[in-house]
Structure 1
């Protein structure tokens, strides 16, 4: 007896929703996919490129370069080893630093901004 009280319009919309479910699902995820693509090209890819360039600079550090450690110490490179760098942080004060803790590498040829 309850089946007689269901309106025909409601019954038609339920059937139509089941048929267009796949199209609706694709339409729902398309903007999300576009956001991920934009995020990759605008954030992840440039960051990976900068990281790769920085790693190349750290690996190619040489005697005479000025470096900044992760702790904020500015020093001049006096000797380079495989995984360590000996730096001079003050006159006649040398310490060994792990290469991976270098935060910035400035070449010997680079001029300071205030000169």
Structure 2
């Protein structure tokens, strides 16, 4: 019956050698990877977006996160007014601005 049911034989456990140090290095490596892959790039993007929103001024051409192109006509503390067509203006939160475009982009489209 040994060929149907394998017999398990107990082995003597090896003495742990530097397992605590290995575990600490492993956990430290995981935190390092987390920092380098996730946290640092996200913080960099957030900083760039804060700088973009802070530097908005009248006459800038912007792209919103909803895909609307327009020219900034008025800037307040939390909102910008964007002209999307002649005589059509939208009030948007500054955080909705995704990118500032080079001058003349809207006319070239």
For the criterion TM > 0.5, the same-fold answer is yes
Q: Distance in 2 between matches of 1:96 and 1:70?
A: 14
| Partner residue, 1:50 | 45
Q: Distance in 2 between matches of 1:55 and 1:88?
A: 22
RMSD of the alignment, in Å? Answer: 2.6
Matched, 1:89 2:78: no
Residue 46 of structure 1 deviates from its aligned partner by 2.6
Residue 107 of structure 1 deviates from its aligned partner by 4.9
Matched, 1:99 2:85: no
Q: Which structure's residues are more often helix, by fraction?
A: 1
Q: Compare CA radii of gyration and give the structure with the larger one.
A: 1
Q: Distance in 2 between matches of 1:106 and 1:58?
A: 13
Matched, 1:36 2:26: no
Q: Distance in 2 between matches of 1:90 and 1:103?
A: 19
Gaps of 5+ in 1: 1-8
Q: Mean alpha-carbon deviation: is it higher for 43-52 or for 81-90?
A: 43-52
Gaps of 5+ in 2: 1-10
Q: Distance in 1 between matches of 2:93 and 2:102?
A: 18
